Amino acid sequence: MNLVRTTVNHFKPYWRMLLVALIFSIIGGLFTIAPPVLVKKLVDDVIVGGDLTLLLWVAAGVLGAYLGKSLFETMQEYVQVKIGLDVITDMQIRAFRKLHRAPMSFFSRTPRGDMLFRLTHDVESIQNLNNTVVPRILQQVVGAVAAFSAVFVLFWPAAIVMFCVFAIYIIPSFTLGTKMRKMSAIQRDMSADMYNHLQESIESVRLVRTYQTQDQETGAQEKKLSDWKTFSIRAALIGKVNWRLGNLFNIAAPGVVMLVGGLAIWKGSITVGTLVACLTFIPVMFQPVRSMAEHALTIQQAIPALQRIYEYFDLPEEHDENLPAFGDVVGKIDLTNLWFSYPGSDKQVLKGVSVSLNPGSHIGIVGTSGGGKSTLVQLLLGLYEPDQGSVEIDGKNLYEYNRNSFRQQVGVVSQETFLLNSTLRQNLLYGKPDATQEELEQAVDAAGLKELIESLDEQYDTIVGERGLKLSGGQRQRVAMARAILRQPPVLIFDEATSSLDGETEERVQASLEELIPGRTTITIAHRLVTVRKADVIILLDQGVIAEKGTHEELLMQRGKYYELYRAQYSELERELIG
C-alpha cells in the first residue's frame, strides 16, 4: 500500500479544514518577516539616521508581530491537531474493523502482542508526530519561505548563497534520514516482538510458576532487550550526527552571508541594516531543517508505524459481507464430503465427512481427541472453508451467503469458554443484548446457574472474569451455555459444553436442555458418551472419517469402537460406584 497516497486519501475529507490551517499558518508566517525588517529600520534609520521617534514604533512593531504570530499559529495548531486526531482515530477504527473481518488463519499465525502493539504503540507514535512535530514544521516551513522571499527582495545574492548552503546540506541529511528510517522499521519490529513476549509471559504466569521457568523467561526478555539496546544506540548515534550536521550548516551559513554582504556594503550596494536583517533571517530559514533533524526520531518512528497500520488495511477478509443475508434459518444442515486441512498444514483433518441433519434433530459427535470434531463445527460456522465438499444450510450454500447472518442464528458453546471482564448480566446478554429479565432467568435456570447467581450478593451485577469473581471451569461453562440458550437460536452447538460439570449437575442441565432443545437443530460434541446417549443419531469421528454412525442402541449392538468406548467408560463408572 502506498504510504503517501493512503495518507492523502485519509486526509481528503478534511481538505477544507486543512486549508484553514494553512491560511492561519501563512498569516502567522508573514508576521515572521516583520522583526528583521524592523531591525533594518532600527539600524538604518534610528541608529545611523538618528530618528529617535521611530524607536517606539519599531519596538511596538516587534511586540505586535510576536503577538500576531502566536495568535495565528495557535489557531493553526488547534485545527491541525484536531484534524490529525480525527484521521488517526479513523485509521485505528479501520484497522480494528479489518482485524475483526480477517480470516481465522490470520489469528493463528499472528502473535497477539503484535496486533496489540500496532493498535496501541504504533498509533501512539503517529499521534506524537501529529500533535507536536507536524504543526510546528508547517509553521517553520511557511516562515522559511517567507524569510527566503524577504531576503531575496532585500539582497538577492544572500538568498542564492543560502540556497546553495541548503542544497549542500540536504544530500548527507537525506542519506542519513533514509538510514534512520530503515533502522526505525527494524526497531519497531524488535519492540513489537518484545511486547509480544512480555504479554505472553505475563499471561502465562501460572504456567511459569508451576514449571519454574522464571529464569528462562527473564533470560529470553533480557536477550531481546539487549539486542534492542545495541540497535537503539546505533540508531541514536545516527540521529545525533544528523542533528549536529544541521547545526554545523546553521553556523556556517551566516559566515558566508557576512562575507558576501560585507563586500556589498563596502561597495555601497546595500546598507548595514540590510545585512543585519539578512543575518536575522538565517535562523528562520534554517529552522525547519533543524527541527526535522531534532525530531528525526519521532518522524522516522512514525513512518514505519504508519506502514504497520496500513498493512492491516490490506488484510484479506474472511468473506464478502455484501453477499445476500440468510433470512430465517429453519435448521436443515447438510455437510457433504468435506475434506479439510488447516491453512499452512498438509495434515488432512477431515477426509470426506458427510452429515445430514433435519430441522430440529439432535446429533451427537464423539471420538478420539484430535479426531476433527471441533474442526467440523468451525467449517459449519464458515470460520474456515473446506478444500472440497459443501456446507448447506436449508439447502443454501453457506459460502454464497453472508455467513454472519447465519452465525447470528446459532448458539455456540465452544470448548474454551471465554468470559468478558464484566458483570454476569453483560456476559449473559452478550449474544442477545435486548433479552428480557424473564428470558434471562429462563436461560439461567436451564443452564443450572440459578442457585449460584442467587447465592451472590450482587447477583446478576457481580463482576466476573479477570478482575472480578473467579468462576470455576464448570461454572464458566454454564454461563457460556446460558449465553447460547438465551439467543433462542434455531441451531445449537455444544462442544464439550458440559465436560467440566460433575455427573449430577450434568444430568440436571441435560434434563432442562432437553425441554429447550425440541424444534432446534442441535449438535452435541462430547467425550462422555452418556452426554449424547439420547441424540437422534451419533457419529463417531476417528482421524477425520466417520467410523460409525447410528443411535446409541444401534452403535452398542454393532460392538465396534463406540461399544469399546462405552465399555471403558462404563466399567470406570462401575468401579467408581463399587470403590
Ligand X SMILES: Nc1ncnc2c1ncn2[C@@H]1O[C@H](COP(=O)(O)OP(=O)(O)OP(=O)(O)O)[C@@H](O)[C@H]1O
Q: Is the dihedral of CA 473, 477, 478, 482 positive or negative?
A: positive
Give which of 479, 492, 342 is closest to 407, Cα–Cα. 492
Residues 6+ apart with CB under 8 A from 508: 448
Smallest distance, Å, CB 385 to ligand X?
14
The listed partner (ligand X, Mg ion, none) that binds 402, CB under 5 to 8 Å by sort, is none
The listed partner (ligand X, Mg ion, none) that binds 188, CB under 5 to 8 Å by sort, is none
Smallest distance, Å, CB 530 to ligand X?
16
Smallest distance, Å, CB 373 to Mg ion?
5
Contact, 480 vs 497, CB < 8 A? Answer: yes
The listed partner (Mg ion, ligand X, none) that binds 345, CB under 5 to 8 Å by sort, is ligand X
Binding range to Mg ion, per CB under 5 A, among 60-68, 226-234, 259-267, 413-421: 413-421
**Closer residue to ligand X (CB): 13 or 370:** 370
**Closer residue to Mg ion (CB): 307 or 374:** 374
The listed partner (Mg ion, ligand X, none) that binds 342, CB under 5 to 8 Å by sort, is ligand X
Residues 6+ apart with CB under 8 A from 47: none
**Closer residue to ligand X (CB): 254 or 544:** 544
The listed partner (Mg ion, ligand X, none) that binds 108, CB under 5 to 8 Å by sort, is ligand X
Helix (H) or strand (E) holding 538: strand 537-542
Smallest distance, Å, CB 523 to Mg ion?
12
**Closer residue to ligand X (CB): 371 or 489:** 371
Binding range to Mg ion, per CB under 5 A, among 132-140, 146-154, 414-422, 571-579: 414-422
Write the DSSP symbol of residue 22. H
Binding range to Mg ion, per CB under 5 A, among 89-97, 147-155, 412-420, 449-457: 412-420
**Closer residue to ligand X (CB): 347 or 467:** 347
Interface positions with ligand X (CB under 6 A): 108, 342, 345, 349, 369-375, 415
Strands 350-357 and 463-464: unpaired
**Closer residue to Mg ion (CB): 122 or 506:** 506
DSSP secondary structure of 253-295: HHHHHHHHHHHHHHHTSS-HHHHHHHHHHHHHHHHHHHHHHHT
Contact, 427 vs 464, CB < 8 A? Answer: yes
Give which of 125, 89, 86, 133 is closest to 303, Cα–Cα. 125
Longest dimension (CA), the chain: 121
- Could you give the 3-state DSSP secondary structure of residue 449? coil
Binding range to Mg ion, per CB under 5 A, among 99-107, 220-228, 411-419, 551-559: 411-419
Smallest distance, Å, CB 343 to ligand X?
8
β-pair partners for 299: none
**Closer residue to Mg ion (CB): 184 or 414:** 414
Smallest distance, Å, CB 357 to ligand X?
18
Contacts with Mg ion, 554-573, as mask; x by CB under 5 A? --------------------
Smallest distance, Å, CB 410 to ligand X?
17
From its phi and psi, is residue 372 left (phi > 0), alpha (psi between -120 and 50) or beta? left
Three cell numbers, residue 23: 491560511
DSSP secondary structure of 394-408: TTEEGGGS-HHHHHT
Query: How far lies 446's CA from each of 132, 203, 262, 354, in Å?
Result: 57, 33, 96, 31
Contact, 482 vs 446, CB < 8 A? Answer: yes
**Closer residue to ligand X (CB): 508 or 528:** 528
Contact, 291 vs 136, CB < 8 A? Answer: yes
Count of Cβ atoms closer than 10 Å to residue 44 Cβ: 18
Smallest distance, Å, CB 379 to ligand X?
10
How many residues touch Mg ion under the rule CB under 5 A: the total is: 2
- Residues between 79 and 118 with contacts to Mg ion, criterion CB under 5 A: none
**Closer residue to ligand X (CB): 327 or 343:** 343
DSSP secondary structure of 50-104: --THHHHHHHHHHHHHHHHHHHHHHHHHHHHHHHHHHHHHHHHHHHHHHHHHS-H
**Closer residue to ligand X (CB): 83 or 366:** 366
The listed partner (Mg ion, ligand X, none) that binds 369, CB under 5 to 8 Å by sort, is ligand X
Smallest distance, Å, CB 538 to ligand X?
14
**Closer residue to Mg ion (CB): 110 or 499:** 499
Contacts with Mg ion, 456-495, as mask; x by CB under 5 A? ----------------------------------------
DSSP secondary structure of 136-150: HHHHHHHHHHHHHHH
The listed partner (ligand X, Mg ion, none) that binds 230, CB under 5 to 8 Å by sort, is none
What is the rounded CA–CA span in Å between residue 217 and residue 523? 41
**Closer residue to ligand X (CB): 33 or 546:** 546
What is the rounded CA–CA span in Å between residue 265 and residue 276? 11
Smallest distance, Å, CB 374 to Mg ion?
3
Residue 543 touches Mg ion, criterion: CB under 5 A? no
What is the rounded CA–CA span in Å between residue 551 and residue 535? 7
- Residues between 360 and 379 with contacts to Mg ion, criterion CB under 5 A: 374
Contacts with Mg ion, 415-434, as mask; x by CB under 5 A? x-------------------
Q: What does the binding site for Mg ion look like in residue numbers (CB under 5 A)?
A: 374, 415
